[in-house]
């Protein structure tokens, strides 16, 4: 197991607010590590400490087995949610400007090809579409040849086609042996891209594992969803129930037995919906609300 990033008992308080309250985790080389949490969970503060933008109150950050230094932070690749670029420059000129900041930048032709920018080189970056701009920002994050890349909600606001194109870029980066640390508000994105997921809430880690392991740990069988009519149904052993958004959600290892029991209790199955659990269901179960809220 090749650990490229390790965090031990990291804390950051703002007055009485425990933004990050003693978290520990490790990230393996060549994997996509998803950092998820509702607004105010502490994930942004965590990312800022990992990037060297905010100093921790206590705890340690290690890159490649050594305590993090300014040199490590300079070697990271970071794609922020919002990045201000110099006006009146073309895509090519913007890439050349950023490359000039580093003594040994990446080959710009390779970056242009990887991020599908070749046909956009002479276009003013202000005239790019949302997906095109995100591909440019990704290329800029890769210009210093980083082995660890932070992507902060990189597909927010993109249409489905642009999002999936961006997903393909991330997969290509992983295939190069690089490590991606991703924050996202899209559960389908996390499920598609992330090899490991960390879910934060109120400054602490509430779940950490592979998506498959987390789903197997918290769900079995299938999910049954019904309109909540205020009833308290009796359920088979090992089934569980929760309420949210006007619906009853039952996790049951035996769907047929559960439906039979509901009917025997006179509970209407009108509006019934059955599906397998996904990360959105997991997030709802752990935090009490969906990630997008």
112 token code pair:
């242009």
The model's pLDDT over 69-111, given as tens digits with 9 standing for 90+, comes to 999 999 999 998 778 899 999 999 999 999 999 999 999 999 9
In this model, does residue 221 exceed pLDDT 90? Answer: no
pLDDT at 176: 94
Distance from C-alpha of 53 to C-alpha of 189, rounded to nearest angstrom: 26
Residue 291: the pLDDT is 56
Lowest mean pLDDT among 60-69, 137-146, 232-241: 232-241
Q: Comparing 113-127, 175-189, 231-245, which segment has the lowest mean pLDDT?
A: 231-245
Q: Is the pLDDT of residue 238 over 90?
A: no
Torsion angle defined by CA atoms of residues 229, 233, 238 and 244, in that order, rounded to the nearest 10 degrees: 20
For 124-177, how does the pLDDT look when each residue is reduced to its tens digit (9 = 90+)? 999 999 999 999 999 999 999 999 999 999 998 899 999 999 999 999 999 999
In the DSSP assignment, the letter for residue 137 is H
- Predicted pLDDT at 63: 98
From the CA atom positions of the chain, what is the Rg in Å?
22
- Please state, in angstroms and rounded to a whole number, the distance separating the CA atoms of residues 119 and 128: 12
Cα 69-72-78 angle, rounded to 5 deg: 130
Model confidence over 189-209: pLDDT tens digits? 999 999 999 999 999 999 999
Residue 202 confidence (pLDDT): 93
For residues 288 and 100, which has the higher predicted lDDT (pLDDT)? 100
- Which class does domain 3-215 fall in? alpha beta
CA distances to 7, 21, 168 from 58, rounded to whole Å, are 11, 10, 37
The percent of residues in the chain predicted with pLDDT above 70, rounded, is 98
According to the model, what pLDDT value does residue 261 have?
93
pLDDT 10s digits, 254-268: 999 999 999 999 999
Tell me the pTM.
0.86
pLDDT of residue 288: 74
Alpha helical stretches, state H, the chain: 43-50, 70-74, 91-99, 108-114, 130-141, 160-175, 187-193, 211-218, 255-264, 279-287
Distance CA(74)–CA(70), nearest Å, equals 6
Residue 218 is predicted with a pLDDT of 85
Average pLDDT of the chain to the nearest whole number: 92
Q: How confident is the model at residue 293 (pLDDT cuts 50, 70, 90)?
A: very low
Q: Using H for helix, E for strand and C for coil, what is the string for 200-252?
A: EECCEEEEEECHHHHHHHHCCCEEEEEECCCCCCCCCCCCEEEEECCEEEEEE
């Amino acid at each position: 197991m090749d650990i490229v990033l390790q965090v031990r008992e990291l804390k950051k308080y703002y007055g009485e607010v425990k933004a990050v309250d003693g978290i520990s985790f490790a990230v393996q080389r060549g994997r996509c590590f998803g950092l998820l949490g509702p607004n105010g969970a502490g994930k942004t503060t965590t990312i800022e400490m990992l990037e060297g933008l905010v100093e921790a109150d206590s705890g340690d950050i290690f890159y490649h087995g050594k305590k993090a230094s300014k040199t490590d932070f300079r070697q990271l690749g970071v794609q922020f949610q919002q990045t201000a670029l110099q006006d009146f420059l073309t895509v090519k000129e913007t890439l050349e400007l950023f490359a000039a900041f580093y003594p040994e930048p990446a080959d710009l032709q390779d970056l242009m090809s990887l991020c599908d920018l070749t046909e956009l080189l002479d276009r003013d970056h202000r005239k790019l579409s949302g997906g095109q701009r995100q591909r440019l920002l990704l290329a800029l994050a890769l210009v210093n040849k980083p082995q660890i890349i932070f992507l902060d909600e990189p597909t927010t606001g993109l249409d489905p086609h642009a999002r999936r194109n961006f997903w393909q870029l991330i997969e290509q980066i992983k295939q190069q042996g690089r490590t991606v640390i991703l924050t996202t508000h899209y559960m389908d994105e996390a499920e598609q891209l992330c090899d490991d997921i960390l879910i934060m809430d109120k400054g602490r880690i509430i779940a950490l594992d592979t998506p498959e392991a987390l789903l197997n740990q918290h769900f079995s069988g299938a999910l049954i969803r019904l309109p909540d009519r205020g009833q308290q149904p009796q359920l088979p052993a090992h089934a569980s129930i929760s309420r949210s958004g006007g619906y009853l959600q039952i996790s049951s290892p035996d769907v047929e037995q559960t439906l039979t029991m509901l009917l025997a209790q006179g509970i209407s199955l009108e509006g019934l919906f059955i599906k397998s659990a996904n990360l959105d269901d997991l997030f709802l179960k752990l935090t009490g609300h969906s990630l997008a809220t």
